[in-house]
Amino acid sequence: MEIDFVVTWVDMDDPKWKEEFYKYSDKIDNSVNEKSEARFRDYGFLKYWFRGVDLFAPWVRKVHFVTSGQKPEWLNIDHPKLNMVSHKDYIPEEYLPVFNSNLIEIYMHKIPDLSEQFVYFNDDFFITNHLSPTRFFENGLPKDIAAFRKNTGISQFEKMLKNNIRLINKHFDKREVFKRDAWKWYEPSYGSRGRLNYLLKFYNKFITLRTPHNAQPYLKSTFEDVWANCEAELTEMSHHRFRSNEDYTPELFRTWQICSSNFVPFNTYEGC
């Protein structure tokens, strides 16, 4: 089994990036979520992400480093495991330039030479100790936690999660999924984090799953399946150059993967 890593990064201080950004936005605006500094700033920690991979996950096949075309000065771009990926390499040209991380992520399956099994990292997820491939995959399937969470917030992120779950309920019947995979949803290792699964046993709709803030394993074929079934919705979203309340997020693909039974139950909060 070959496993790749995908990591996305942006440097808002890059003059070329700034020039493109200001074509479509008058300024960085911290009062607007989709245009705030928090969406684009770099803390200078990226080199430690790469060092962690090098030291603690030498088994990775490829690291796909996704940017708008930016290259940190210190990065050895000739490393045999490194694949430098520009947005233009896999996102349709009509949607570029893009300043919406959700849009950058929903096309990840189009990254050239991406393996079927891959792990998606934000640049603030660090590997700090020896890590086995079995932390992410078992028998070729992603390891994940299928546990519901409350979704009562009014933030932009919460609204996007609700968009995801509406699509999930359109394509999956919760009763059928639970009948087929009860043992995966009532996995004892989830502990208290799986409590809502029992409380909502007789509720016929899916609600948002827990969203651990850590590296996420995926199957490339999951993305292809979601696109095959939700092309109209994802294509419409592709016009959102900046984040939008109408966006979908990578949680759509993760939840789809779980509802399709393409996962091994595991409490992903352990060891993080």
pLDDT digits (tens, 9 = 90+) for 80-99: 999 999 999 999 999 999 99
| Distance, CA of 134 to CA of 255 (rounded, Å) | 20
5-28, pLDDT tens digit by residue? 999 999 988 899 989 998 998 777
Element (H, E) at 205: none
**pLDDT on residue 153:** 74
229-259, pLDDT tens digit by residue? 999 999 999 999 999 999 999 999 999 999 9
Tell me if 271 is assigned to some domain: no
* Residues 264, 212, 9, 20, Cα dihedral to 10°: 120
Contact assessment for residue 137 and residue 189, using Cβ atoms and an 8 Å cutoff: no
**pLDDT on residue 233:** 98
For residue 142, the domain's CATH number is 3.90.550
Tell me if 270 is assigned to some domain: no
Closest CA to 122 of 236, 226, 46: 46
Q: Categorize the per-residue pLDDT at 39 as very low, low, confident or very high, splitting at 50, 70 and 90.
A: confident
176-189, pLDDT tens digit by residue? 999 999 999 999 99
Residue 30 clears pLDDT 70, i.e. is over it: no
| Distance, CA of 43 to CA of 38 (rounded, Å) | 10
Residue 210 sits in which domain range?
3-265
- Give residues with Cβ within 8 angstroms of 188, minimum separation 6: none
Tell me if 183 is assigned to some domain: yes
| Distance, CA of 102 to CA of 98 (rounded, Å) | 10
Query: What is the mean pLDDT of the segment spanning 255-264?
Result: 98
**pLDDT on residue 33:** 66
109-151, pLDDT tens digit by residue? 999 999 999 999 998 889 999 999 999 999 999 999 999 998 7
Phi and psi angles of residue 25, each rounded to the nearest 5 degrees, phi first: -145, 135
**pLDDT on residue 123:** 86
Beta strand pairing call for 216-219 and 117-121: antiparallel
**pLDDT on residue 38:** 65
Structurally, the chain folds into a number of domains equal to 1
Tell me if 272 is assigned to some domain: no
Element (H, E) at 141: strand 141-144
Query: What is the mean pLDDT of the segment spanning 45-54?
Result: 95
Query: What is the mean pLDDT of the segment spanning 48-68?
Result: 97
Closest CA to 66 of 10, 124, 125, 3: 10
The proportion of the chain whose per-residue pLDDT surpasses 90, expressed as a percent, equals: 82
Contact assessment for residue 115 and residue 61, using Cβ atoms and an 8 Å cutoff: yes
**pLDDT on residue 271:** 64
**pLDDT on residue 150:** 85
**pLDDT on residue 31:** 66
- Average pLDDT of every residue of the chain: 94
Residue 272 clears pLDDT 70, i.e. is over it: no
